[in-house]
Amino acid sequence: MTEQHSHQFERGTDGPKVIVVGVDGSDSSLRAAAYAGGLARRQRALLAVVYVQPVMTAGAALGAPVAETTNEIAESLIAQIRDATERLKGIFDVRWEFHTFQGDPYNGLVKAADDLKADAVVVGASEQAGHRIVGSVAVRLVKAGRWPVTVVP
């Protein structure tokens, strides 16, 4: 008697095809983007660069142009990434896309990874002292257990 196994495609089994990296302009997130870019190049994967725009309540903003500021950050990040890819064109070719999601960093990255069907997620280590107590975005992503997560110092 022979057993038949149903073979379903498993994300990540042949190496990642989509790598999501979270960027927010911090040094650690830019190091994470560089690391993820190298990984994407070596794996011939798509690099999905994700900026999560914070959503503030109307009361918290109190006249501060928050949406304009976060849009400026996103535009600045896109410009930095484009500049870097132009400098490396012909040396290191990486397919990449830039996406913005709204929300807090954790939920925004989870939505991005789900929507983009990520095989791996790369983030920078938190530079905030309070995260040692509450838990950083990276720790929360690891605990979610849905993708391999690489934390870049």
CATH code of the region 19-151: 3.40.50.620
Per-residue pLDDT reduced to its tens digit, 104-120? 889 999 999 999 999 99
Is residue 94 within 8 Å of residue 85, measured between CB atoms? yes
Predicted structure pTM score: 0.73
Alpha carbons 62 and 48: distance in angstroms, whole number: 33
Alpha carbons 133 and 148: distance in angstroms, whole number: 23
Query: Could you tell me the residue ranges of all domains in the chain?
Result: 19-151
Per-residue pLDDT reduced to its tens digit, 39-84? 998 999 999 989 888 776 554 555 555 556 667 776 777 777 767 6
